[in-house]
Amino acid sequence: MGAVASYFASLSLPGLFARIPAGVAQGLVWGLMALGVYITFRLLDIADLSVDGTFSTGSAVVVMLILSGVNPWAATLIAMAAGLVAGTVTGLLHTKLGIPAILSGILTQYALYSINLAIMGFKANQAVSVDKYALIISSRTIPKAILTGVLFSAAIIALLYWFFGTELGSSIRATGCNQQMAKAQGININSMKVLGLAISNGLVAMAGALSAQYSGFADVNSGRGAIVIGLAAVIIGEVIGEALLGKHLNFAGRLAFVVIGGILYYIVYTVVLWLKLDSNLMKLFTAVIVAIFLAVPYLRGQSKSSFRRAGKDAAASAVEAYDRDPYAWDKPQNTDNAQSAGETDAADKGVK
What is the 3 state secondary structure string of 100-161? Answer: CHHHHHHHHHHHHHHHHHHHCCCCCEEECCCCCCCCCCCCCCHHHHHHHHHHHHHHHHHHHH
Q: Which of 1, 3, 184, 347 binds other proteins (CB under 8 A)?
A: 184
Q: Which is nearer to other proteins, 158 or 314 (CB)?
A: 158
User: Does residue 167 bind other proteins (CB under 8 A)?
Assistant: yes
Residue selected from 178, 240, 273, 285 as contacting other proteins according to rule CB under 8 A: 178
158 contributes a contact to other proteins by CB under 8 A: no
- Cβ closest to other proteins, residue 245 vs residue 291: 245
Distance CA 20, CA 17 (A): 5
Going residue by residue from 105 to 144, which x/- string records binding to other proteins, judged by CB under 8 A?
----------------------------------------
CB of 201 to other proteins, least distance (A): 20
When binding is defined by CB under 8 A, the residue of 171, 200, 211, 270 that contacts other proteins is: 171
- Separation of CA 268 from chain center: 16
Assign 236 to helix, strand or coil.
Answer: helix
> What is the per-residue DSSP string for 275-337?
TT--GGGHHHHHHHHHHHHHHHHHHHHHHHS-HHHHHHHHHHHHHHHHHH-TTGGGS-SS---
Question: Amino acid letter at 305?
Answer: S
Residue of 188, 239, 249, 252 interacting with other proteins (CB under 8 A): 188
Of the candidate residues 185, 279, 302, 306, the single one contacting other proteins (CB under 8 A): 185
> 138 or 171: whose CB is closer to other proteins?
171
Shortest distance, CB of residue 162 to other proteins, whole angstroms?
9
Applying CB under 8 A, the residues found at the interface with other proteins are 163, 165-171, 173-174, 177-178, 180-189
